[in-house]
């Protein structure tokens, strides 16, 4: 059904080379139990005909298309600029939202929170590589009040649209970590963040070792960019002037600290999952070394003045001829 008024909330789906994955978030967004109108915006910059598929299979979805690769921050910002709702939520192309995802988010926003966070659950249970991938990336956002409340920097947030006018947009030239920098900005501004462990997305994790390692290598590069920008995650030691000491911190101290932080998060929030966490520790260690290698490579290239991440993509084109809100 087409809605002529303003949607209650906008959802931005971040899509890159996502033709094989895009049904996952879009089917889950079609199944939302929110009784009010909401809109779904897919921001796509891949070259696998995903945009054509979305236009044909999901005519209710608004499409923002860029012919040039958008890194995550650029994709988020393109979606924000296209959004018509007073609140903006984000979902990746490998995520699926629970049916009450939007309803619960909107309730928290209406309770007075300008930013609202939820949890991520494992969509690849009982797979060792998938479990390791999940714990490395999402141990701080497991569905637990206690764990979510103790995040150093909250993640998985939706935002009051006016926050971007007040605080600016996401950095557009980072491989990963754009939300970390923006959310750190929220905390410095004193923005109260509401969390609800019932606001859940399920993440389809990497289950092949090669993809798992490449993914966490890229996260390492994004981590180095985050440290360079904001000095966050000091235990990684990328700013240490002594190369040997820097290597010890990156390849020794950092993996140990990250492993322990994951252990603590699981122990606080889901202690019954500790045996699985311990069982996949060899894979966790391998993934953390891949992250450290990516961080080391990025820091070396930046020291030589040759950062690989590249410039932001060009402005996206807004294709809204078939735009309509989903109910």
pLDDT in tens, 56-88: 999 999 999 999 999 999 999 999 999 999 999
121, 85, 91, 92: which is closest to 106 by C-alpha?
85
- How confident is the prediction for the chain on average, in pLDDT? 88
Asked if residue 240 and residue 192 are part of one domain, the reply reads: no
Task: Clarify whether residues 56 and 165 are in a common domain.
Answer: yes
97 and 36 share one domain = yes
What does the pLDDT look like over 257-274, one tens digit per residue? 999 999 999 999 999 999
| Dist CA 26 CA 70 (whole Å) | 20
Query: What is the pLDDT averaged over residues 169-179?
Result: 90
* 79 and 16 within one domain: yes
Query: Tens of pLDDT along 97-143?
Result: 999 999 999 999 999 999 999 999 999 988 999 999 999 999 999 99
Same domain flag for 64 and 193: yes
Which of 205, 228, 261 is the endpoint of a domain?
A: 205
Asked if residue 119 is part of any domain, the answer here is yes
Phi and psi (nearest 5°) for 160? -65, 130
Is pLDDT of 15 > 80?
yes
Using the 8-state DSSP alphabet, how is residue 249 labeled? Answer: I
Q: Are residues 45 and 152 in the same domain?
A: yes
- Report the Cα–Cα distance between both ends of the chain, in Å, rounded: 7
Q: What is the pLDDT of residues 190-234, one digit of tens each?
A: 999 999 999 999 999 999 999 999 999 999 988 888 877 765 555
Please check whether residues 197 and 259 belong to one and the same domain: no
317 domain residue, yes or no? no
Q: Please check whether residue 319 lies inside any domain of the structure.
A: no
Number of structural domains (the chain) is 2
Domain boundary among 179, 205, 231: 205
Instruction: List Cβ neighbours of 321 (8 Å cut-off, separation of 6 or more).
Output: none
Same domain flag for 187 and 46: yes
Q: Are residues 160 and 183 in the same domain?
A: yes
Q: Where is mean pLDDT largest: 85-94, 175-184, 236-245?
A: 85-94
CA 199 – CA 60 distance, rounded (Å): 24
Q: Are residues 108 and 226 in the same domain?
A: no
- Domain membership flag for residue 277: yes
CATH (domain of 68): 3.90.550.10
Q: Does the residue 39 lie in any domain?
A: yes
Rounded CA gap, 200 and 95, in Å? Answer: 10
- Our measurement of the distance from residue 190's CA atom to the centroid of its chain's CA atoms, rounded to an integer in Å, reads 22
- Per DSSP bridges, beta strands 157-160 and 95-97 are unpaired
Q: 177 and 288 share a domain?
A: no
H/E element holding 35? Answer: none
Q: Is residue 308 part of a domain?
A: no
Residue 232 within any structural domain of the chain: yes
> Is residue 77 located within the same domain as residue 108?
yes
Confidence (pTM): 0.88
- Of 205, 235, 258, which residue is a domain's last? 205
Query: Does residue 321 form part of some domain?
Result: no
> Which range of residues forms the domain containing residue 295?
209-303
């Amino acid at each position: 059904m087409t809605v002529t008024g303003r949607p209650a909330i906008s959802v931005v789906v971040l899509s890159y080379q996502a033709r094989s994955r895009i049904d996952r978030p879009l089917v889950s967004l079609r199944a939302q139990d929110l009784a009010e109108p909401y809109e779904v915006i897919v921001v796509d910059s891949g070259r696998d005909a995903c945009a054509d598929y979305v236009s044909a299979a999901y005519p209710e979805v608004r499409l923002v298309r860029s012919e040039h690769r958008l890194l995550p921050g650029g994709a988020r910002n393109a979606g924000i600029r296209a959004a018509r709702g007073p609140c903006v939520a984000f979902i990746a192309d490998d995520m699926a939202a629970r049916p009450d995802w939007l309803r619960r988010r909107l309730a928290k926003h209406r309770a007075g929170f300008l930013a609202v966070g939820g949890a991520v659950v494992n969509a690849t249970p009982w797979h060792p590589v998938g479990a390791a991938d999940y714990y490395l990336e999402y141990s701080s956002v497991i569905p637990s009040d206690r764990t979510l409340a103790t995040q150093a920097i909250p993640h998985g947030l939706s935002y009051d649209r006016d926050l971007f006018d007040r605080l600016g947009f996401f950095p557009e030239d980072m491989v990963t970590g754009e939300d970390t920098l923006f959310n750190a900005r929220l905390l410095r501004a004193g923005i109260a963040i509401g969390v609800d462990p019932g606001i859940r997305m399920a993440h389809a994790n990497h289950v092949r070792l090669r993809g798992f390692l490449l993914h966490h290598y890229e996260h390492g590069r994004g981590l180095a960019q985050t440290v360079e920008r904001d000095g966050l995650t000091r235990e990684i030691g990328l700013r240490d002037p002594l190369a040997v000491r820097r290597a010890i911190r990156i390849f020794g101290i950092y993996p140990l600290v990250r492993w322990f932080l994951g252990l603590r998060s699981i122990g606080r929030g889901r202690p019954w999952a500790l045996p699985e966490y311990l069982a996949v520790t060899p894979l966790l260690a391998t993934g953390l070394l891949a992250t450290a290698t990516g961080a080391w490579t990025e820091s070396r290239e930046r020291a030589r003045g040759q950062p690989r991440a590249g410039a932001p993509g060009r402005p996206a084109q807004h294709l809204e001829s078939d735009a309509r809100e989903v109910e």
